[in-house]
Structure 1
Amino acid sequence: MASSSKNDLVVNRLLNARLEEGGGADELPPQNMLPSHQHLRQVGHLHEDENGHAPDPAPSATENLQPSNTAGRLHNWQATKTTVKERLSFLFNNEILCDVHFVVGKGANQQIIPAHKFVLSVGSAVFDAMFNGVLATKSNEVELPDVEPAAFLHLLKFLYSDEVRIGPESVMTTLYTAKKYAVAALEEHCVDFLKSNLGTDNAFLLLTQARLFDEPQLAALCLEMIDKNTADALNAEGFTDIDQDTLNAVLERDTLRIREAKIFSAVLRWSEAECLRRQLPVTPGNQRTVLGRAFNAIRFPLMSVEEFAMGPAQSGLLDDREIVQLFLYFTVNPKPNVGFLDTPRCCMTGKDLTVNRFPQTESRWGYSGTTDRIRFTVGQRIFVVGFGLYGSYFGPSEYEVHLQIIHLATKKICGSNTTTFCSDGTDDTFRAMFKEPVEILPNTSYIASAKLKGMDSYYGTKGLRRVTVDCNNGEKVVFQFSYAAGNNNGTSVEDGQIPAIIFYI
């Protein structure tokens, strides 16, 4: 008989002897050594994949210990696991060789989870200190009331098998647990998951969590998302749930791409929710109180007098002196000190882009109080911050200009500013800027308008109806220009003023 056959015979005799001693192959392990049915259902439900779906449950302790037709299956489970990873994975959430139990969570959601000190100590310095340090625990039962059972199971699954099972419902609690037990690799997986699922609908929620868990990289991405999509982020359901420090941090930014009147409306909604959280009546006085210094971060001077009169002036949050001072700010020069910032929120991140619609220039173009206008649409949402305009061909000169962008269908003025620019006598274009970025929606018609006062200037010829701008990130922004009906000082697609639009994506 071959040597391997002898060994098999010896193993089988030993296994048969143990089975006879223990009462037969049909006897199951005691029930207190197995997870409850409820626990098994919870594990199956909470182990989500990256898409938030529950995969097939991992083999439970019952499945691992259930005897099969082969007598050796119950006791010789090692023979079916050919790698270290398979053997360790089999021990996950399993009573076999277990030497510690964790009482995780509290109340109705509390679970008792078995584990193995050696595996945990190898994967976490915190567990190593807990079990092997100078102040190591002597108990074989550890209570973790501040940890969610699902998150703790995600942590153990990673320590036993390197598998990452997180979804939208559990990622934040798993991140907390990974940080608590210093499992940096799982923490990184959680942050990567959050980055890949970051959107305008959850940017404020994730920003709050990133600040709470001290994740500066994630916080920076959230702020960038809010900067580029301010209106959508402020309108998201989670905005009113953020804490006051997060609100302050956002309102202090110069890079928000939205009208100040809309910021005020969003802040009002937040203050109402905060009053309810503090169980206070929703009154103007209480709203201002709960806002604290966030109220002073609202830049009322950036509003138009109409926006201020229709909103903040009637809200009850400002006192009579503040209302009078702000109305004076809008109507007189020199402007009084009103106690609120007037720094424009147009310091956008990245480099601005310019669309140029004229390949050639000619002279001369005159001004007699009539507005130059051109109609345009764009293929994606952008933020216009100014126009490029032609200046004098007689030499250096200064111009006063009133800029506007008008929504064609509603005739609503989306942005306006009265400013000046200086030209140097060349046929270059010169920048005239809005105080705030003007949001331009895709496939929507707008009128670009510029009313100039100054000397005759250069003008553009052989204009283009369609211009594509290549961006640094590989995107392409397509502009369509067409004739703006009405009094337009002669500006058209083919000839005239407003040769360039300056924007951010």
Structure 2
Amino acid sequence: MNSTSYTVAPMNTFASQNGQALFNWQATKSTIKERLGAVFNRETLADIHFLVGKESPVRIPAHKFILSIGSAVFDAMFNGKMATTEEDIELPDVEPPAFLALLGFLYTDEARLFDETVLAQMCLDTIDKNTVEALAAEGFLDIDHETLCMVLERDTLRIREVVLFNAVVRWAEAYCVRHNLPNNPENQRNVLGRALYLIRIPLMTVEEFAMDVAQSGILTDREVVNLFLYFIVNPKPSVQFPDAPRCCITGKEQVVCRFARTESRWGYSGTSDRIRFVVDRRIFVVGFALYGSIHGPSDYECNLQIIHTGTGKVLASNDTTFSCDGSANTFKVMFKTPVEILPNTNYTACATLKGSDSHYGTSGSRKVTVDLHGGGKVTFQFSYAAGCNNGTSVEDGQIPEIIFYT
């Protein structure tokens, strides 16, 4: 970083002594460079803002056109296939002075030495927020191996591991084509190297593993057998692939509650409680809140699932347990990893409980709108899941709350 410094707090628009907007301020600047420098870190003509920093984010004004002609990263952010529609872009992992130094270069061409990690961090933040789209883009196939590993190491990717695996296989196939290598599983494994072992295969469902990974030919026979054992036996054998969930969610936990009242005695005989739902914006479901026993403190065995209603595909499943205190409160039961829920798509929330009779909810709502912590809303529409549902419906039953992030 050179000696050029910038005021972190953004300035207002140009104003005269009486507080009115200064007319014809452009005439006081003799060059385009001076005019661009004059609007740097000002609200004048600003059409985008960045919330920079973690603890007390600084809201920095900017201009899409200026940023786009100076940086391919910004051009893709504002004009590419993954163009953002947000008015405020969050950059929690970037320090305000470093970000302003970058903007200073783009506006004035003066800060020629700035921290290049700022741009790298912005690229990674964009990938975090649009992981599926970023990995489906053609440009993903052209990144180098070091960058691939950097992406795969991130805990903040918003993507299912099976989708990530298939994207990595496409990268390996493209690498083989570029280097005139026979495009077979052996060479794909060789070019992936350590990148293969950054995919968190244990987080997949056994069905995803069997249909995609096991049949790819990229894993060794021993790895396939060990992973199948990992999915189906306890205690689980050690495997070479990480199993820590990716924390692909930011912000605060949100809850949608679909019942107005709670009553007593809901029984369980091995049948799943189910309810269908649709949302009007993308969210990430991390679990359900369930009712517990009416007979005092008790433990339950539970299987959670989210199913794509149209295809019947199980998108997430978790066998777990939870304890309750005998009250009419709800108790959180979580998935291993967040589940991406797309707008205007029908999903089925499913919970199979083994335990004593519980409380249940009544006076359910078919449509519930949740005010989000960071502003905006998300609307849930619930509907009856025909078939085996243990009696749960829109009006009453189990699965009173869905826990999610945006």
After TM superposition, is the score higher than 0.5? yes
Q: 2:161 aligns with which of 248, 260, 284?
A: 260
RMSD over aligned Cα atoms: 3.1
Distance in 2 of aligned mates of 1:483 and 1:239: 41
After superposition, the C-alpha distances for 1:402-421 in whole angstroms (9 at most, x for unaligned) are 11112222222222111111
Give the aligned residue type for 2:243: D
Residue identity (%): 63
How many residues in Structure 1 have an aligned counterpart in Structure 2? Answer: 329
Greater relative contact order, per chain length (Cα 8 Å cut-off, separation 6+): 2
Check conservation: 1:346, 1:385, Cα contact below 8 A.
no
* In the alignment, structure 1 residue 158 sits paired with structure 2 residue 39: no
Amino acid at match of 1:286: N
- Equivalent residues of 2:280, 2:343 under 8 A apart: yes
Give the alignment partner of residue 405 of structure 1, picking from 306, 310, 317. 306
Which 4+ stretches in 1 moved above 6 angstroms?
186-189
1:60-79 equivalences in 2 (<5 Å): none
Q: Match for residue 336 of structure 1?
A: 237
Correspondences of 1:363-442 after superposition (within 5 Å): 363-442=264-343
147, 151, 170: which is aligned to 1:250?
A: 151
Shift of 1:348: 2.2
Helix, strand or coil at the partner of 1:197: helix
Q: Deviations over 1:222-262 (max 9, x none)?
A: 33332233222211121111222221121112222222111
Query: Structure 1 residues 421 and 322, CA, compared in 2 at 3 Å: closer, same or farther?
Result: same
**Which whole-Å deviations, capped at 9, do the CAs of 1:383-433 have from their partners, x for residues lacking one?**
211111011122221111111112222222222111111112221111111
Q: What TM-score do the two structures reach when normalised by structure 2?
A: 0.73
Q: 2:168 aligned with 1:293, yes or no?
A: no
- Check the 8 A contact 1:201/1:236 in 2, yes or no: no
Secondary structure of 1:481's partner? strand
Structure-2 separation of matches of 1:358 and 1:187 = 48
Tell me the alpha carbon deviations over residues 91-142 of structure 1, each in whole angstroms, 9 at most, x when there is no partner.
Answer: xxxxxxxxxxxxxxxxxxxxxxxxxxxxxxxxxxxxxxxxxxxxxxxxxxxx
Deviations 1:2-33 (A, max 9, x none): xxxxxxxxxxxxxxxxxxxxxxxxxxxxxxxx
Counterparts of 1:346 and 1:277, CA distance in 2: 34
Three-state SS of the structure 2 residue aligned to 1:225 is helix
TM-score by length of 1: 0.60
Paired position in structure 2 for 1:224: 125
Measured in 2, the distance between the counterparts of 1:429 and 1:162 equals 56
- After superposition, the C-alpha distances for 1:287-325 in whole angstroms (9 at most, x for unaligned) are 222222111101121222222222222222211211121
| Residues 183-206 of structure 1, C-alpha deviations (whole Å, 9 max, x = no match) | xxx989846955861766489xxx
Structure 1 residue aligned with 2:78, among 197, 204, 224? 197
Tell me what 1:455 maps to: 356
Give, in whole Å, the separation in 1 of the partners of 2:135 and 2:76. 19
The CA distance in 2 between the partners of 1:161 and 1:302, in whole Å, is: 49
- Judged with a 3 Å threshold, the aligned counterparts in structure 2 of structure 1 residues 161 and 258 are, in CA distance, closer, same or farther, namely closer
Structure 2 residues without counterparts, runs of 5 or longer: 1-25, 40-65, 85-98, 100-113
More helix by share: 1
Between structures 1 and 2, the one with greater strand share? 2
Describe the superposition over 1:415-456 as per-residue Cα deviations: whole angstroms up to 9, x where unpaired. 211111111222111111112222222122221111100111
Look up the match of 1:445.
346
CA distance in 2, matches of 1:287, 1:500: 44
CA shift in 2, pair 1:377/1:202, >3 Å: closer
Residues 272 and 502 of structure 1: CA distance in aligned 2, closer, same or farther (over 3 Å): same
Letter in structure 2 aligned against 1:394: H
Q: Which has the larger radius of gyration?
A: 1
